[in-house]
Structures are given as structure tokens and as C-alpha cells.
Amino acid sequence: MTSADTRFAWTPPAETVAAATLTAFMAAEGVADLDRLIARADADPAWYWDAVMRHMDIRFTTPYDQVLDTSQGIQWPRWCRGGRTNLTLNCLDRHRGTAVMDKEAVVWEGEDGTVRAWTYTDLDIEVCRLAEGLRGLGLGRGDAVGLFMPMLPETVAAFFAVAKIGAIVLPLFSGFGAEALVSRLNDGGAKAVLCADGTRRRGKTIDMKATLDTAARSVPSLEHVVVLDILGLDMDWHTGRDHRWHALGNGIPASSVTEDMPADDPFMVIFTSGTTGKAKGTVHTHCGFMAKAAADIGLVGDFKSDDRFLWMSDIGWLVGPMQIAISAFRGATLVLAEGTPDYPETGRLWRLVQDHRLTYLGLAPTIARAMMAHGTADLERYDTSSLRLVMASGELWNPDSWWWTFDNLCRRRVPIINVSGGTEIGWGILSNTVIQPHKPCGLSSAIPGMGADIALPDGSPAPEGTMGELVLRVPSIGLSRGLWNDPDKFLETYWSRIPGLWVHGDWASRDGDGTWYLHGRSDDTIMVAGKRCGPSEVESLLMETGLVAEAAATATTDPVKGEAVLCVCVPRPDRPADAAVAEDLRAAVVASLGPAFRPKDVVFVSDLPKTRSMKVMRRVIRAVYEGRDPGDLASLVNPESVAELARVTT
């Protein structure tokens, strides 16, 4: 609906507010409105998270005796002390003996139209058999297990089976090349990998097992590879190391004990790349990930047990684990689709909404822009009236794509629940809600219990309308418990820029109505279609080719992906700076990071803009390439490099 107040694009109907989970939660806790809830939650996060876990019925085999312990500093909080639980207990075991077990848990559709559906009973059986099969290989508490799989029903089972035995899930992007796998599997100390033989994307078959075989040669900790033969591809077989998925579970009873874990023990390490160094392993725990998902998606995002949820994503992006966990926790139905939203037909995503009666659709702005390019004819062909919510995250909206989505998909009836957060956060910092009006591209609220604020360089709150750093002033139960095996990097990356505050790396502002807006990354992180990549990760690949003497990678604006990779290189004296070399450099990036990160442009220069401390000024490179004012250049040791860059990119 359109509000009479022209400041807002959408205003919630009274019946939506009355039926909202957030409304029921505030009533139960005796809180009059959302502003008061946020104020109380930020002042007393222990109260808030305890209330969330009680209201959302997060279960513990042993109750915790202390919600939050900050005796080691707010950078190192300990949550649910004394408590014991398991993610799988809360997502699957809780439904045994209830009517939920007969509901559809997971529905999958392939590119060729094949549909497979599992009930919760089916899912539980698969999880139990796989868990016992993994135990039979000697895997258990604290062992790191990679998931190198597309989004399949079996991927959902694998996620819960690894958590069930007390092992640690390492989700891996299904499009990774071998080098990216090597880095992450070695960092995680992976003892096993669960892998699909392959997947299909836009009609092409991708041989995932072959990629893993190449990577495995450089992962000395890897003892077992469990292969799901989904496409029937010919595979090299390594006897003793490789195991067939279904053979592993043959003859095993469909029951398995869920490991009783200390509540704040890790269950997942998922990697994200920042501005410097290699990919960082963010650490998520049994109680932390579940409580954060229940609060942000179930409470703030109003996700309910009768929802049917699709977000075409990947297990290697936080959206993948999030949608698996919250769907099962709520006893809802998760819909998965192989491939891409616009193949083999341009309106495939809208047909999926119609055919699977979706009520809750995840949609990155990148996908909205891609679908927008196909026009509205497909949307008009399919019935999308089952939708009640669209959730969006991954990067910034632009007004054209936001309005196109709101007008044509949402019909100005369905709200867009815009969310901003990150892998390190466990989900969101800012979000729209279903009880507040929305502005285009904005976020109506801070998420409670985060102490979210906009800070000036000295840490003081930024005035209304002033852009500053998005920060957290209190610890959150969903925050990464450090970085895997690198506590110093954790402090340096998130807690050192403004002492005592978590600095997220986003520029933000807030208007007079309380709507939040984001203005891009304040660091050098490259965000391609909602997936992060650190510049140094790309630069290392370029240098390893031996074709260039120096390399700088940064983001540049892309009309579909939001951002794309830009490479600026100094060629070696004995190598040409020509199109063939540029293509070889592109190929090196794609081989390791996947096609999404294919550089949009490779530019050759004689020198890179650097400060006197020899730091490459990536922000200057991006600004010059995009024809914008590069700002203050006083710190450059070689200002002539800027003029050259402008000349070769004009």
C-alpha cells in the first residue's frame, strides 16, 4: 500500500502490525514500542538475548547460568555460560513427535525442471545416517569438515549432520577454484570434505570433484572426501580417501545421538575477505548463530512457520547457512533451485515463486538489477501473489532497481525487508521491519541488542544527516568469536580503528525520520554480487602469473553486480602490456575465485599511486577510473601516477 505520508513508499497495514512476531514479543516483555525496545536492548544486551531465547524457545540440554560474561573485555564476550546445546537439536530434534515431521522441509528444483521434495522425517533420517557414517570415519567433536556443494537437499542434511556430531562446518563457495579451496581448507585444518561430483549452471556442467582433487594435493590435513554422485560424472577415485555418500549410510539405522555441546563452542567457520591479507575465518557458535538468526529473521524479519522461503544463494555465503538454520528452526519449508534466476528462461525466478507458492523471497539487489534488464513481461506472465515479504541484502540498492522491484514484484503491497550486516555479524546490524514505514533504499531500524550507531573519528555519535562509520557499541551474541587461529587480526580488523567500538567498514547516515542509509565501504573490500573479496587475494593471483611487476585490485561500480573487480598493473619489462596478457590475468583470477570475480577491466600503467609509506591508494585508483575527484593527494609520493592513470583510462 502507499502511505498518505509521501515521505514513505510503504506503510504497514494495521493487521500486519498486529500479527507481527515483533509485536507479540514486545507485548510479552512489557515494552511499549520499538524505540524503547532498542534502547533497553542496547543498554542491557544480556536481558535482550535472554528474552529472545525464551520467547523463540531456543533449547538447551543444560540451562545457562550466565547470559553474558564480558570479564575479558567486550571484544571477547562469552555467552550462555554453563549452558549446553546443539544447533541440530534446535533445528531438527525439536520437531520429533510433532506434526512438523510430516511437512515439506526442503524442495529442490533443477535447471531441467526436475523437482525433489523431502519431509522433515526424510531430512532427519538422512541427517542421522550421514552423521553415523561420518562418525564411522572417525570424525567428531572439533573436527573441521568442508562443505563443497551446491544448494541441494543433501547439502542441508550435511550441514546438520556435521553440527550433530559436534564437528565444525566449513562452508565453501561452490564456484571456487582449487587455489581458493586450498587456502580455506588449510586455514580451517579440514579433516574431511563433503563434495558433490558436479553441478549445472546455465546449461554447463561444472566438475566440482575434479577441482577438489586438485586442491586436495595441497591440503595435508585432509583424510576423507565424501562424494555425492548427483550428476553421474566420471571421477578419479582415491581409494581409502574417497567415499561414496550413499554407501556411507547404507545399513545404518536412521537414528543418531546429537552431541551435547557447550553452548558457545564453534559449530561453523565461514570465510570472508577484507581489505588486506588472506580470507578470514569467522567463528560462529551453537547458541550464537541460532539466537542471532531467530532474532533477526524470525523476530525482526517476521519469518514464520508457514512460510515457504527461497533465496538463490550458495552455502559459501552467509545466506546459505542462515536460510537452512532459520527454516528448520521455525519448521518452515526451504525451497532450493539449481543454477541462476534467469535460466533456462528469463522469468525463471518469478515462475519459481508461482509454482512453489513462495511467501518469503530473498533477493540481492544485484539479482533485482539483472531481472530488471529483462523487463516486466515475465512478471506479468506469472502469479506472484503468494509473496508476503521480500528480504534483500548483499550490497546497496540504487533507486531505479528498488522502485522497479517495489512496483512490479511487490505491487506496492509487499514490503522489502532491506538488511545490512555481514558474515562477521552473524546476520544483520540494520533492517527494515514489518511494523515501521519504509523509504526507498533505506533501513528503518537498527537491530536491537547491537548498540548500532554512526560514529565520527573520535567515536562520538555523528549528528543527524552526517555520514560516519557504522559501529557497534555493545557485544552481540551473533558476532564472530574472533578469527579462526588469528586473534590479533580480529582485534586489528574490527576493534582498533576506534578504540572500544566495533567498526564495520561501512559509511552510514541517518535522517530526521530515523531511517538509516549506507554509502558504501569505508575500507577496500570488493563486493561482487553480494560476495566479498579482499584486494590482496586478487593481487596475489595476478603476481603469481609472473606477468606483472606490481598489481592493485579494487572495486568499480557495475550496473548489475553493484561492484566489479578492477585490476591496475605495472607490467614486467620483459612482458608486453597487451590484450593477450590482460586476458591471461583475468583467467588467473577466474581459475581461483570463480567467474563472478572476472575482472571488468585490466589497466596497464608504469606506476601505482602510493603514499610515502608505500601504501597503494586504491581509493584513488577507483575514483580516477570512474572519472571522479580522487580527493586529497597530499600524501602521495608519486602524484604523476594519477595523471597517467587518468590518461590511460579516459
Q: What string of DSSP letters covers 375-396?
A: -SHHHHHS--TT--EEEE-SS-
How many CB atoms are located within 10 Å of the residue 302 CB? 23
Query: 540: domain CATH number?
Result: 3.30.300.30
Q: What is the DSSP letter of 438?
A: B
Model pLDDT, residue 622: 92
Residue 545 lies in a domain: yes
Stated pTM of the model: 0.86
Beta bridge partners of 555: 565
The grid cell for 497 is 580503528
Residue 193 lies in a domain: no
Query: ω before 344 within 30° of 0 (cis)?
Result: yes
User: Which helix or strand (DSSP H or E) is residue 55 part of?
Assistant: helix 45-55
Q: CA-CA distance, 295 to 428, in Å (whole number)?
A: 10
Model pLDDT, residue 276: 38
Residue 593 lies in a domain: yes
pLDDT of 274 above 60: no
Which residues, including other chains, have CB under 8 Å from residue 597's CB and lie 6 or more apart? 528, 531, 533, 538, 565, 589, 590
Model pLDDT, residue 283: 98
Pairing of strands 445-446, 427-431: antiparallel
Model pLDDT, residue 611: 62
pLDDT of 24 above 50: yes
Which candidate, 104, 90, 15, 57, places its Cα nearest to that of 308? Answer: 104
Model pLDDT, residue 398: 80
Contact 445, 429 (CB under 8 A): no
Q: CA-CA distance, 100 to 94, in Å (whole number)?
A: 10
Residue 552 lies in a domain: yes
Which candidate, 553, 540, 550, 603, places its Cα nearest to that of 572? Answer: 550
Contact 548, 575 (CB under 8 A): yes
The grid cell for 149 is 556443494
Q: What is the largest CA-CA distance in the chain?
A: 73
Which candidate, 587, 649, 591, places its Cα nearest to that of 620? Answer: 649
Which band of pLDDT confidence, cut at 50, 70 and 90, is reported for residue 1?
Answer: very low
What average pLDDT does this structure show over 202-218? 96
Which residues, including other chains, have CB under 8 Å from residue 53's CB and lie 6 or more apart? 287, 291, 294
pLDDT of 2 above 50: no
**Phi and psi at residue 471, to the nearest 5°:** -135, 165
Q: What are the DSSP E strand ranges found in 223-289?
A: 224-228, 242-244, 261-262, 266-272, 280-285
What average pLDDT does this structure show over 59-81? 98
Residue holding cell 533477493? 363
Q: CA-CA distance, 410 to 418, in Å (whole number)?
A: 13
Which candidate, 200, 188, 328, 342, places its Cα nearest to that of 266? Answer: 188
Contact 334, 309 (CB under 8 A): yes
The grid cell for 650 is 579516459
**Residue 571: domain span:** 526-649
pLDDT digits (tens, 9 = 90+) for 329-339: 999 999 999 99
What average pLDDT does this structure show over 166-170? 98
Which residues, including other chains, have CB under 8 Å from residue 121's CB and lie 6 or more apart? 101, 102
Model pLDDT, residue 130: 97
Residue 251 lies in a domain: no
Sign (positive/negative) of CA torsion 19, 20, 21, 24? negative
Residue 541 lies in a domain: yes
Which candidate, 334, 362, 373, places its Cα nearest to that of 109? Answer: 334
Which residues, including other chains, have CB under 8 Å from residue 280's CB and lie 6 or more apart? 271, 272, 273, 274, 424, 483, 484, 486, 489, 493
CA-to-CA dists, residue 570 to 22, 603, 641, angstroms:
55, 9, 11
Residue 173 lies in a domain: no
Residue 632 lies in a domain: yes
Which band of pLDDT confidence, cut at 50, 70 and 90, is reported for residue 14?
Answer: very high
Query: What is the number of domains present in the chain?
Result: 1
pLDDT digits (tens, 9 = 90+) for 536-584: 778 889 988 989 888 899 999 888 888 899 999 999 888 889 999 999 9
pLDDT of 601 above 50: yes
- Tally DSSP H helices, then E strands, for the chain: 21, 31
Model pLDDT, residue 145: 98
Question: pLDDT higher for 575 or 308?
Answer: 308
What average pLDDT does this structure show over 276-281? 66
pLDDT digits (tens, 9 = 90+) for 353-392: 999 999 999 998 878 888 888 889 999 999 999 999 999 9
Question: pLDDT higher for 83 or 577?
Answer: 83
User: How would you class 2 by CB atoms within 10 Å of its CB: exposed for 0-12, middle for 13-18, buried for 19 or more?
Assistant: exposed
Which band of pLDDT confidence, cut at 50, 70 and 90, is reported for residue 4?
Answer: low
